[in-house]
């Protein structure tokens, strides 16, 4: 990794990195990953293009870090719902999944990640250790969700990998809107969530 240019103290490094993330979020949301250049990111953050590489190996790495922040925010909101306290467990879970689905679908950064092969492009530019760390955090998050749901006694026995697969299948359905049919898409998603929750939640007395 290139050395930081002289003159950047610890506080400046932190400020520049935060600015890169803030400006990156704006530019990536507006123009997408492919159409946003390192020169534009650097200019918006008040540094030279060469200095950009002192903070990130590539624009894909910056994009990935911003996406991780978006995902963490969504996970935090998802985990804040206590199903054990719900009067109607099934309806609460359906509402939670539908709200999370719409949040992901309407997030410009996450939408950009999924379309135009941006995911493959991004992954190919990331250090293996960063990807490995991300996948471990994802697995830990699913385990936490599953443990919380199991402890509340609201769902049937299911392993973490299967639950992760179900959630991934649901949250990537927006990629197939045209194949599903745009006219029936909203109702299809709602019914899919309904069937999914009916299969997960323990029958209530």
pLDDT for the residue 117: 67
**Is the pLDDT at 92 greater than 70, yes or no?**
yes
Mean pLDDT of the chain: 85
- Most confident region among 3-7, 71-75, 193-197 by mean pLDDT: 193-197
**Is the pLDDT at 32 greater than 60, yes or no?**
yes
User: Where do the domains of the chain lie?
Assistant: 1-56, 58-200
pLDDT for the residue 203: 64
pLDDT for the residue 86: 81
Whole-angstrom CA distances from 160 to 29, 90, 155 are 32, 20, 12
The CATH H-level superfamily of 1-56 is Homeodomain-like (1.10.10.60)
pLDDT for the residue 63: 93
Q: How confident is the model over 105-157, as pLDDT tens digits? A: 888 888 777 766 677 778 888 888 888 888 888 778 878 887 877 777 778 88
**Is the pLDDT at 65 greater than 80, yes or no?**
yes
Q: Which residues contact 127 (CB under 8 A, 6 or more apart)?
A: 57, 61
| Secondary element (H or E) of residue 121 | helix 118-124
pLDDT for the residue 201: 87
Residue listed under structure tokens 């199903």: 83
The span from the CA of 50 to the CA of 5, in Å, is: 9
pLDDT grade, residue 204 (50/70/90)? low
Per-residue pLDDT, averaged over 163-189, amounts to 88
Write out the two tokens for 198: 């009916």
pLDDT for the residue 166: 86
pLDDT grade, residue 2 (50/70/90)? very low
The span from the CA of 137 to the CA of 146, in Å, is: 14
The span from the CA of 187 to the CA of 204, in Å, is: 25
**Is the pLDDT at 75 greater than 70, yes or no?**
yes
Listed as own residue / partner, the contacts of 75-81 with beta carbons closer than 8 Å and 24 or more positions apart are 75/141, 77/103, 78/145, 79/144, 79/145, 79/148
Please tell me the least confidently modeled range out of 10-14, 119-123, 181-185: 119-123
pLDDT for the residue 7: 59
Per-residue pLDDT, averaged over 162-172, amounts to 84
Helix axes 38-45, 10-35, angle to 10 degrees: 140
Write out the two tokens for 70: 């978006």
pLDDT for the residue 4: 45
């Amino acid at each position: 990794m290139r050395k930081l240019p002289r003159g950047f103290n610890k506080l400046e490094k932190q400020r520049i990195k935060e600015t890169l993330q803030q400006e990156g979020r704006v530019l990536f949301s507006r123009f997408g990953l492919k159409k946003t250049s390192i020169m534009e990111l650097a200019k918006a953050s008040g540094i030279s293009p060469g200095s950009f590489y002192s903070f990130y190996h590539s624009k894909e790495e910056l994009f990935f870090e911003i996406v991780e922040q978006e995902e963490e925010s969504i996970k935090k909101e998802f985990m804040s719902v206590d199903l054990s306290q719900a009067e109607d467990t099934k309806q609460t879970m359906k509402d939670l999944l539908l709200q999370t689905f719409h949040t992901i679908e309407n997030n410009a950064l996450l939408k950009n990640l999924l379309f135009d092969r941006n995911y493959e492009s991004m992954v190919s530019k990331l250090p293996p250790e960063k990807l490995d760390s991300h996948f471990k955090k994802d697995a830990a998050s699913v385990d936490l969700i599953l443990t919380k749901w199991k402890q509340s006694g609201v769902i049937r026995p299911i392993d973490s990998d299967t639950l992760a697969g179900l959630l991934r299948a649901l949250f990537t359905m927006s990629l197939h809107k045209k194949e599903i049919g745009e006219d029936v898409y909203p109702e299809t998603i709602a019914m899919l969530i309904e069937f999914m929750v009916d299969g997960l939640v323990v029958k209530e007395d």
